[in-house]
Amino acid sequence: MGASFSALFIDQDGLSSSSPCLGDLPESCVASIIQHLDPPEICKLAKLNRAFSAASWADFVWESKLPPNYHILVHKILGFVPQNLGKRDIYTRLCRPNTFDGGTKKVWLHKSTGGVCMSISSKGLQITGIDDRRYWNHIPTNESRFHSIAYLRQIWWFEVNGEVEFPFPVGTYSVFFRLQLGRASRGFGRGICDPKQVHGWDIKPVRFQLWTSGDKHSTCECSLSEGGKWFHYYVGDFNVENPNSSTKIKLSMTQIDCTHTKGGLCLDSVVIYPSAFIERLKHNGFLKCTKPCCHMLHSI
């Protein structure tokens, strides 16, 4: 099979080079090698020559990168997909942020690892007082995947609830609220933050809670601090053992001490990542409320 590619390597006199070249490798051999690489590395090597380009489209290469239950994910996220669509094309489509549930949720595969990631917009959460503009406003922004965030002006009873049911692949996942203290806006072509209305978050901590199947319940308390920057506030972890059925989780964020008001908070979304991503968030300085502040409870 590789003999057809040897013609690509011709010396200046028009004669075939006597030395073996990468183009002489059989396509099946190249595919067997590159399947052990990360997807971005495979795509880079595909530009090397025709043999690597052809091998990079082999279905068995990308089948190993796709989640084991990718057929269920394709049906859930993409709906109808042509039967002749190759595995590389399927991987590419799943890596794009795909919107579902009326535009309130986005799900995608991490390009390098193939891990499933999800984001739930503020409009997909149940927020106490969200319809009263004395308390909350929806603000358009390019700092959100959904191009809109919920901004809290001031409230006594702060409560946000959400739930999701989705066929996550086997693994451990972490849940976060993406928050910023201070009103997000743009000025002079860049993002700015107005901290004038930020108050009440340093008096008592916010409680984050997560309920998963099997009557498991985790809770975490954390004070909101350091305005002007988006942070991921850790809620808890959940495990998936059966990828062929949907996993249902419920989550909440509350500060219901009515002795004082709270305000000046931007709520973008809830995000769900494979738990291995925690170290990446920590390294980039985006993580708040780490696991030691939390504890797991089992309902009786």
**Residue 295: predicted pLDDT:** 52
**Residue 4: predicted pLDDT:** 41
Burial 165-182 (b: 16+ CB within 10 A, else e): ebbbbebebbbbbbbbbb
**Residue 60: predicted pLDDT:** 87
Q: State the angle between helix axes of 70-77 and 87-95 in degrees (0 to 180), rounded to the nearest 10.
A: 60
What is the sign, positive or negative, of the torsion defined by CA atoms of 142, 145, 147, 149?
Answer: negative
**Residue 1: predicted pLDDT:** 40
Ramachandran class of 88: left when φ > 0, alpha when ψ lies in -120 to 50, beta otherwise? alpha
Q: Which residues pair with 182 in a beta bridge?
A: none
**Residue 130: predicted pLDDT:** 96
Mean pLDDT by 10 residues, the chain (300 residues): 41 49 67 83 85 84 92 88 85 94 95 96 97 95 94 96 96 96 69 79 94 87 89 95 93 94 96 95 86 47
User: What does the alpha-carbon distance between residue 5 and residue 21 come to, in Å, rounded to a whole number?
Assistant: 10
Full 3-state SS string of the chain: CHHHHHHHCECCCCCECCCCCHHHCCHHHHHHHHCCCCHHHHHHHCCCCHHHHHHCCCHHHHHCCCCCCHHHHHHHHCCCCCCCCCHHHHHHHHHCCEEECCCCEEEEECCCCCCEEEEEEHHHCEECCCCCCCCEEEEECCCCCCCEEEEECCECCEEEEEEEEECCCCEEEEEEEEEEECEEEEECCEEEEECCCCECCCCCCEEEEEEECCCEEEEEEECCCCCCCCEEEEEEEEEECCCCCCEEEEEEEEECCCCCCEECEEEEEEEEEEHHHHHHHHHCCCEECCHHHEEEEECC
